[in-house]
Structure 1
């Protein structure tokens, strides 16, 4: 099966440990999700490796649902969310800055590619939209960790 990747990266104005908590704790993570993510339901665990959650997205009027399992190939640094059935894998790579006051976040998702022209069209249309959503998600993390204000009303605040 062919895959294509969509990714973004940015520096977050918070230490790695704080970013890690927002990425891996689903009760906190829901607060930074852009509006295209309609629901996030924890099915098992809730924080870190072994957590299973269902995520529903609505992109361009197309609703899709993924059941993701979190693993940590490099604990505290690389977080993988994977839906084996859909063939979708999202990887968060966290790297502390030299002063440990900031964290570089690389967010990338691998999607299965449809064959032929449909696959080409999908990659051309979907990739920029997903990148835009991911930029917003990383921006939301930064705002959340620097101000304590979550992007969503149904979120949990932490200080």
Structure 2
């Protein structure tokens, strides 16, 4: 088996932009939101979406071995946007070819497809925000790659 490859590159994906995040955080408590409290302080909410699609450049981190090729988008919450099975020649998670947010996330924008990471609840507040990422070179075939996002309302990372 060949070693795992990790690299970064820009990818262009048709994208519907979001409006600006409100600079004033929402203090509302007990806002009904899919079974959660709906509290979003200290974040602002985004409540507008563009109806125009444009080609946008996104930072991608790729992981590849003999069997799979995975694309992670750190600018979109560190989600696995695409996971390709090289043996069967097909995606093994849903790959949405367009970034088209819907206002169903805790702060507004959320996109379908791929794998999103959620803490402390589903569609976490920062699901549509950039995360930091790193990869660590190893002397073995393993290539760990991780992302981190510290929520402003928790001490968890």
Q: Would you call these one fold, judging by a TM-score over 0.5?
A: no
- TM score, norm. by length of structure 2: 0.31
- TM score, norm. by length of structure 1: 0.30
| Between structures 1 and 2, the one with greater helix share | 1
Q: Which structure is richer in relative contact order (CA contacts within 8 A, separation 6 or more)?
A: 1
